[in-house]
């Protein structure tokens, strides 16, 4: 028994060994630092450092800093100036990611002093690092100078000022400028761009205490992002997917903060927790600040729901680089927590801490903010400032000229006043005259409208009487038919009666229409076929008739010839096309008119025309009548003989 289990244990051990090896390989694959170390050459390592999707997925920024310092030391030993510069750029970025902004600025400024010798990629990184450092240190005047230099070098990414406005508390101005600058640049089908746009607008609204409106914008952002992520027609890179997940976490975090502002704490908690978890994977300082904000709002929500343990757990987290305002909020929440648990001494301690911070902040911040605002106004656009100065000079010169001509202008004003009064009198006269003319026009319009109504009524009456007269002729032909014994004469009278009915139907349709100038041909053809069927009671009822004339309208000059032609064709099909059995009989009628060009086609699947049809055409009254009617339409009748049935067609104008 044990002998049989040995191979099984060996297999299990081998599988376990493979699994451990696979996990080890997988761990190496997902380590960005390992990929960096396995890359040869400083330039290639620089590319890996700044293009890797998640730099700190396994190793911390401190691990990276230690590794970069080793490579920097080796480059300095062999006097490799390019490698030294590239590793220092990475080091500046790492200090920034660690929140050691002073060190990062010092190193970045040292590098930037030699900006003319740097490649475009390194120079942009240094400018971005300085931009981020100054933002975190709230040195907005210096941040503006950096962004002006970005513009001078032709970098278009992150050169606007709306985020600086927001940092200074001018959230509405930030939102307005952002909408004005960014909205026109986003295509309607760019769902990711629209998601970022609505996320930013929603966040500015939230910061401006407009939570309900902000919530609407943020939900739009989430909907656009879902469209982007679910669009399988567009292939997405690993970096795009990672950035999308971070954007989704930002949006959910801001939605959660809106719910806290609206006292909807249960809805806020899962959104904030998920946002914190995802944003913790990012190395961006902005995302680190968002994690702090979300954590404080999570503590706030749990406090209101009396979940004190969960709230205290969030408040006990020791964050690096927490801002003064975030520290004030944390102290307030801790004071509120100790109030809730009736530890009033600790509560008082945190209240006092906040008072000291607020007093210090009030003294420093008012002067700092004023200075920053002045700097922004002065530096936001140097070209615009110069233009305003030039404009002011021009206005001053004009003012001096106007002062010299003051007496002359007074005289001109007096004269202008006289002419104005005369002009006003003229306007009053013209106004009164225009009122009189409008009355005359209204009366004439009323007379014309009455005349048109009367004309329409008369035309309808005429068409009605013509129709009645034609009906009377049809009745007379019916009486004549009853008094005639000759079969050929009866057929001729019936054909004549059918033609008269076709014309009478035209006039009936006209007086029933609101528009007396045209006839809707689909309904007319249907009525005409019903009329022909009533004449040939024994045939035609099993024939399938398709009419394709929907939307086609003809005037009376074209409708009457068409009616007579169609009467001849349908009558001929009923009489001759299906002599034995009409159960499978089909008739197709097509009529179209586009602008000045029209087309008519009539087909049936009957026995077709006889072999001597061409000779009969000269003696057949029906064919001769159709040829004349088609000539009246300035066209020529075409006849196609098929193996089954016949086709008549012609073009007309």
- DSSP assignments along 200-245, one per residue: HHHHHHHHTT-HHHHHHHHHHHHHHHHHHHH-TTS---HHHHHHHH
What CA–CA distances, in Å, run from 383 to 165, 180, 360, 567?
20, 19, 37, 82
3-state secondary structure of 432: helix
The domains of the chain are located at: 31-159, 536-652
Query: Quick one: how far is CA 176 from the chain centroid?
Result: 20
Of all residues in the chain, the percent with pLDDT exceeding 90 is 11
Task: Look at 536 and 141; give whichever has higher pLDDT.
Answer: 141
Give me the torsion for CA of 316, 321, 327, 330, rounded to 10°. Answer: -30
What CA–CA distances, in Å, run from 395 to 94, 174, 305, 391, 404?
52, 31, 63, 6, 15
Q: Report how far residue 273's alpha carbon sits from residue 298's, in angstroms, rounded to the nearest whole number.
A: 7
> How much is the average pLDDT of 503-516?
69
Given this model, what pLDDT does residue 15 score? 42
Given this model, what pLDDT does residue 280 score? 86
Tell which phi-psi region holds residue 577, choosing left (phi > 0), alpha (psi between -120 and 50) or beta: alpha
> How much is the average pLDDT of 517-536?
81
- Domain covering 536-652 in this structure, CATH number: 3.30.565.10
> How much is the average pLDDT of 205-209?
88
Given this model, what pLDDT does residue 590 score? 93
For 143, residues 6+ apart whose C-beta sits below 8 A from its C-beta are 131, 134, 135, 164
Q: Tens of pLDDT along 65-79?
A: 899 999 999 988 998
Q: Report how far residue 286's alpha carbon sits from residue 135's, in angstroms, rounded to the nearest whole number.
A: 10
Q: Tens of pLDDT along 306-333?
A: 898 898 898 888 887 787 778 888 888 8
What CA–CA distances, in Å, run from 222 to 134, 209, 263, 429, 640?
31, 20, 21, 63, 64
DSSP letter string, 475-541: HHHHHHHHT---HHHHHHHHHHHHHHHHHHHHHHHHHHSS-SSEEEHHHHHHHHHHHHHHHSTTSSS
Q: 31-159: what fold? A: 1.25.40
Above 50 in pLDDT, residue 24?
no
Q: Which helix (H) or strand (E) holds 277?
A: helix 265-279
| Cβ count within 10 A of residue 534 | 11
Given this model, what pLDDT does residue 497 score? 76
* Token code pair at residue 522: 């689909």
* Token code pair at residue 305: 């729901």
Given this model, what pLDDT does residue 573 score? 84
pLDDT band at 198 (very low <50, low <70, confident <90, very high): very high
Query: Quick one: how far is CA 511 from the chain centroid?
Result: 49
Q: Report how far residue 620's alpha carbon sits from residue 614's, in angstroms, rounded to the nearest whole number.
A: 10
């Amino acid at each position: 028994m044990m002998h049989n289990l040995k191979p099984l244990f060996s297999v299990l051990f081998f599988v376990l060994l493979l699994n451990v090896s696979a996990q080890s390989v997988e761990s190496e694959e997902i380590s960005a630092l390992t990929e960096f170390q396995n890359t040869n050459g400083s330039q290639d390592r620089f590319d890996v450092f700044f293009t890797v999707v998640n730099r700190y997925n396994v190793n911390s920024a401190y691990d990276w800093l230690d590794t970069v310092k080793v490579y920097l030391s080796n480059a300095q030993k062999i006097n490799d100036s390019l490698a030294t510069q590239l590793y220092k750029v990475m080091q500046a970025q790492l200090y920034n990611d660690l929140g050691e902004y002073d060190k990062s600025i010092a190193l970045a400024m040292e590098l930037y002093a030699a900006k003319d010798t740097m490649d475009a990629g390194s120079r942009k990184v240094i400018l971005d690092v300085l931009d981020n450092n100054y933002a975190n240190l709230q040195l907005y005047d210096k941040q503006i100078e950096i962004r002006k230099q970005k513009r001078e070098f032709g970098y278009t990414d992150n050169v606007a000022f709306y985020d600086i406005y927001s940092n200074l508390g001018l959230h509405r101005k930030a939102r307005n400028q952002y909408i004005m600058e960014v909205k026109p640049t986003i295509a309607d089908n760019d769902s990711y761009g629209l998601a970022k746009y609505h996320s930013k607008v929603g966040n500015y609204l939230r910061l401006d205490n407009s939570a309900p409106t902000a919530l609407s914008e943020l939900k739009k952002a989430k909907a656009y992002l879902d469209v982007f992520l679910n669009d399988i027609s567009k292939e997405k890179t690993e970096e795009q997917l990672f950035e999308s997940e971070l954007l989704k976490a930002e949006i959910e975090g801001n939605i959660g903060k809106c719910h806290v502002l609206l006292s909807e704490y249960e809805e806020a908690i899962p959104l904030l927790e998920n946002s914190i978890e995802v944003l913790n994977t990012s190395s961006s300082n902005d995302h680190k600040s968002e994690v702090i904000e979300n954590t404080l709002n999570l503590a706030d929500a749990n406090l209101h729901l009396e979940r004190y343990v969960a709230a205290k757990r969030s408040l006990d987290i020791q964050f690096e680089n927490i801002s003064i305002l975030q520290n004030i909020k944390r102290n307030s929440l801790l004071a509120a927590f100790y109030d809730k648990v009736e530890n009033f001494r600790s509560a008082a301690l945190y209240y006092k801490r906040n008072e000291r911070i607020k007093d210090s902040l009030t003294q420093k911040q008012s002067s700092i903010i004023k200075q920053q605002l002045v700097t922004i106004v002065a530096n936001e656009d140097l070209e615009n400032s110069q233009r305003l100065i030039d404009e002011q000079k021009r206005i001053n010169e004009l003012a001096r000229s106007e002062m010299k001509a003051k007496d002359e202008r007074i005289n001109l004003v007096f004269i202008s006043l006289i002419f104005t009064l005369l002009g006003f009198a003229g306007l009053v006269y013209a106004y009164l005259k225009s009122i009189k003319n409008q009355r005359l026009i209204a009366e004439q319009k009323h007379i014309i409208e009455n005349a048109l109504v009367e004309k329409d009524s008369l035309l309808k009456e005429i068409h009605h009487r013509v129709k009645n007269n034609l009906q009377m002729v049809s009745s007379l032909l019916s009486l004549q038919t009853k008094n005639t014994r000759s079969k050929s004469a009866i057929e001729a009278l019936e054909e004549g009666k059918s033609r008269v009915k076709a014309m009478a139907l035209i006039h009936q349709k006209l007086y029933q229409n609101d528009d007396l100038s045209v006839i809707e041909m689909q309904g007319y053809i249907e009525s005409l076929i019903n009329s022909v069927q009533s004449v040939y009671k024994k045939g035609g009822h099993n024939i399938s008739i398709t009419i394709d004339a929907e939307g086609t309208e003809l005037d009376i000059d074209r409708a009457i010839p068409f009616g007579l032609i169609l009467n001849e064709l349908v009558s001929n099909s009923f009489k001759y096309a299906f002599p034995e059995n009409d159960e499978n009989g089909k008739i197709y009628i097509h009529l179209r008119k586009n602008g000045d060009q029209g087309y008519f086609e009539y087909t049936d699947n009957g026995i077709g025309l006889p072999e001597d049809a061409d000779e009969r055409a000269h003696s057949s009254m029906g064919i001769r009548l159709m040829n004349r009617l088609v000539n009246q339409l300035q066209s020529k009748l075409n006849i196609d003989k098929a193996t089954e049935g016949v086709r008549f067609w012609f073009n007309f104008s």
